[in-house]
Structure 1
Amino acid sequence: MTMVDRQGLASEPGAAVAAPAALPRHVAIIMDGNGRWAKQRGLPRIEGHRRGVDALRRTLRAAREIGIEIVTVYSFSSENWSRPATEVSALMGLLKRFIRNDLAELHEAGVRVRIAGDRDSLEPDIRLLLTEAEALTKANTRQTLIVAFNYGSRQEIAAAARALAAEVARGERTVDSITPEAIEARLATAGVPDPDLVIRTSGEMRLSNFLMWQSAYAELVFQPILWPDYGREALVEALAEYGRRERRYGGLGSVGA
């Protein structure tokens, strides 16, 4: 795990940044630092979240241009409900506006939208928006965007375990047939390759209940930049760090270490 700083970039501000030659197929992003960004500027937290949506637009556009096949973003965790009610309400409003304002562009760009997370506790209008986003973009093949919303990895794994236990209780499978593959097939990301690279912004160095099963062999890159300041340049820097890694999947590397 490496902390990447933003010094030493050769490009001028605003200049195009070339993509590294070796690209991950699936990049997952923990978009962290909205509140700190706002606090540093004497602004309300919701303004940080608004600027975070702008950063998401920039980053998704850059990922498409670079050629990242799958992007998963951690937009709202199952633990985020403990935040002040006003902030949660504002975040729900931002989600609604993002889907209504950006879905057409994503669809036109050939992006398939998938939602990972528990929908049962969501308001009906939000559930409907999420379902419509998935239905509209289902046939798109250029890129897949997975939005982890009301998501928690422990809860996801527990739900998969309950589903398998119920199948055993009904006599539909044996205990011995519960394999990693059987669990994976019941996760919210079923059918999607595991992330090759997990990026977390703001300098925090933890997964925070995000894709813990799926990230077993992912490369982790932690960047000190706060999420509202994120964009193509920071993404390319993370991809360059990924390109310097040697992925071993539990085996020996090229030097036998």
Structure 2
Amino acid sequence: MSVKALLVPEKLPRHVAIIMDGNGRWARKRGNARVFGHRNGVKAVREVTEAAAELGMGYLTLYAFSTENWSRPKNEVDALMALLVSTIASETQTLMKNNVQLRSIGCLDSLPSKVKAELDTCIKQTANNTGLTLILALSYSSRWEITQGVKRLAEDVKNGRLEISAINDQVFSSYLETREVPDPELLIRTSGEFRISNFLLWQIAYAELYFSDILWPDFRKEHFYEALLDFQKRERRFGKTSDQLILKK
């Protein structure tokens, strides 16, 4: 029996986030420049997006480019930006065919104008799609996001639009980039690294973490299904005890 066949549809996470790691190491193992790994990582993006859409999941967030990635060598950053433009342009029709809506989070104004224009075009074209919502985290970091949220919240308090006594978890969440989507229930990181890398720190407070040894360009649907199956085997207590969950049932 395939791993996919073992999945229980009713127990699938509504939102999965992925740290796509290992492109550079994948390329070096083959004697190529890091950008070669990024190009081959596009197939993994396509496979996972198709898998999530086929399973009827609600949201998939991919960590595509962090604010810290701007400090990488200029030739790699330039190649990544060019790859983003060509990939978004070539994949738009596939997203439309699969009823996938594209969104993005991050400091998007820092992106090159060609990337921003292509991204905006794809977002507009897929805006009415009602299936999977694919969210690209571009020029994103959680500390940046939280800092920006605090600034907006402080501005509202200063201008009398928000009372300090009204601030709670839900109110603060409404100032974040992800305010319109549910928090991830599962976070996947590839390549065998055990770090969160400044990604969705607020949102993954109760997410299940899954670490795969597979380098991102080799990540396929079957690996995604394995992560989902592992998720379904876990007991999610949210601070409660196992006995409390049993009594609730």
What range is the shorter-chain TM-score in?
over 0.9
Counterpart-to-counterpart distance in 1, 2:243 and 2:236: 10
Structure 2 counterpart of 1:179: 168
One of 85, 90, 93 as aligned partner of 1:101: 90
Q: Shift in Å at residue 187 of structure 1? A: 1.0
SS in 2 for 1:79: helix
- CA apart distance, 1:50: 0.6
Distance 1:27 1:242 in 2: 11
Q: Is the 8 A contact 2:26 2:215 kept in 1?
A: yes
1:234-249 matches, cutoff 5 A: 234-249=223-238
2:52 aligned with 1:51:
no
| Aligned AA (1:53) | V
Farther off after superposition, 222-231 or 246-255: 246-255
Structure 1 SS opposite 2:210: strand
What is the aligned counterpart of 1:203 among 183, 192, 198?
A: 192
Q: Could you tell me which amino acid in structure 2 is paired with residue 156 of structure 1?
A: E
- Counterpart of 1:42 in structure 2 is 31
Q: Distance in 1 between matches of 2:4 and 2:169?
A: 39
| Alignment of 1:74 onto 2:67 | no
Deviation, 1:140, is: 1.1
Q: State the TM-score, normalized to the length of structure 1.
A: 0.91
Instruction: Supply the RMSD in Å over aligned alpha carbons.
Output: 1.7
Percentage identity across paired residues of the two chains? 47
5+ unaligned residues in a row in structure 2: which ranges? none
The corresponding residue for 1:30 is 19
Q: Residue 253 of structure 1: which of 233, 242, 247 is its match? A: 242
| 1:20 is the counterpart of 2:33 | no
Residue by residue, what CA displacement relative to the aligned partner does 1:26-52 show, whole Å, maximum 9, x if unpaired? 110000000011111111111111111
* Stretch of structure 1 that moved more, 117-126 or 35-44: 117-126
Moved more, 223-232 or 121-130: 121-130
- Report the Cα distance in structure 1 between the residues aligned to 2:61 and 2:6, rounded to whole angstroms: 19
Aligned with residue 75 of structure 2, among 71, 81, 86: 86
Deviation at 1:66, TM superposition (A): 2.2
- Residue equivalent to 1:5: none
Distance, in Å, in 1 between the alignment partners of 2:66 and 2:35 is: 17
User: Which residue identity does 2:12 align to in structure 1?
Assistant: L
The Cα of 1:250 is off from its aligned counterpart by 1.5
Aligned: 1:231 with 2:213: no
Distance 2:142 2:92 in 1: 26
SS, match of residue 57 in structure 2 = coil
1 or 2 for the larger relative contact order (CA 8 Å, sep ≥6)?
A: 1
